């Protein structure tokens, strides 16, 4: 009882194995990430979010993770946390920005929430590529993305993380529109509360 484990669903393990070793183009990286988010929604294996970790310059694929909150009974199992954790395990380090490491990039289909924005500086990630904006996620889906810092881009940049927004935004938003039209849960905490 004093440990917990978070796993990718079987389809995502297979899809990771089928990815090319390198995806040089940022839009192609985003397209792969959006596809994982879409399948995660279709297969009902988590929320409509995915995150991929890539070696920024070469495009070498480290892995793509997906949101696992509901199936894993874990409110912190957002795609970014899952992808960063799997990458850190694969590379045997808690700091992807450690000595001798290349620059690693995280590619996400939607702007990271307050938790995941906060997770990035700790992770050693050096580059963030975003599809849909936080405002669009909230208006399309009903998720409350939390108290993201008003100057989150500058706060990340000042910690050595470049921020690249609006990559394949329309394709990214389609998944959130499909989520809105599904009956999948909007799993903000406190569902027993009248704040909901």
Q: From residue 8 to residue 47, what is the string marking binding to a copy of itself with x (rule CB under 8 A)?
A: x---xx--x-------------------------------
Whole-angstrom distance, CA of residue 102 vs CA of residue 132? 27
Nearer Cβ to a copy of itself, position 129 or 168?
129
- Catalytic residue at 38? no
Q: Which of residues 47-66 bind a copy of itself (CB under 8 A)?
A: 63
The whole-angstrom separation of Cα 120 and Cα 107 is 12
Total residues binding a copy of itself (CB under 8 A): 71
Alpha-carbon distances of 146 from 14, 76, 117, rounded to whole Å: 33, 13, 10
155 binds a copy of itself (CB under 8 A): yes
Residues numbered 77 to 106 that lie near a copy of itself (CB under 8 A) are 77, 81, 84-86, 88-90, 92-101
Supply the minimum distance, in Å, between the C-beta of residue 91 and a copy of itself.
8
- Which 175-194 positions form the footprint of a copy of itself (CB under 8 A)? 187-193
In DSSP notation, 59-118 reads: -BEEEEEE--HHHHT-TT--HHHHHHHHHHHHTT-S-TTSTTPPPEEEEEEE---HHHHH
In the list 30, 33, 79, 117, the residue contacting a copy of itself (rule: CB under 8 A) is 117
> Closest approach of Cβ 8 to a copy of itself, in Å?
4
Distance (Å) of CA 85 to CA 11, 109, 176, 186: 19, 18, 24, 24
Sign of CA dihedral 30, 31, 33, 37: positive
**Residue numbers 126-145 binding a copy of itself by CB under 8 A:** 126, 144
Active-site choice (38, 80, 145, 173): 80
* Contact (Cβ atoms closer than 8 angstroms) between residue 61 and residue 22: yes
User: Active-site positions?
Assistant: 80
């Amino acid at each position: 009882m004093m440990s917990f484990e978070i796993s990718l669903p079987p389809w995502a393990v297979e899809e990771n194995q089928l990815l090319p070793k390198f995806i040089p183009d940022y839009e192609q990286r985003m397209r792969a990430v959006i596809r994982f988010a879409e399948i995660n929604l279709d297969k009902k294996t988590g929320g409509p979010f995915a995150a991929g970790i890539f070696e920024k310059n070469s495009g070498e694929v480290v892995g793509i993770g997906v949101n696992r909150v509901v199936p894993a009974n874990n409110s912190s199992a957002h795609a970014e946390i899952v992808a960063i954790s799997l990458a850190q395990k694969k590379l045997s380090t808690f700091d992807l920005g450690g000595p001798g490491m290349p620059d690693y990039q995280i590619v996400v289909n939607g702007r990271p929430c307050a938790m995941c924005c906060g997770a990035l500086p700790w992770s050693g990630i050096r580059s963030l590529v975003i599809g849909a904006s936080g405002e669009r996620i909230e208006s399309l889906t009903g998720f409350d993305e939390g108290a993201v810092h008003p100057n989150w881009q500058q706060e990340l940049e000042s910690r050595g993380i470049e921020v690249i927004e609006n990559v394949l935004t329309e394709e990214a938003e389609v998944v959130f529109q499909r989520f809105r039209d599904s009956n999948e849960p909007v799993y903000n905490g406190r569902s027993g509360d009248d704040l909901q």
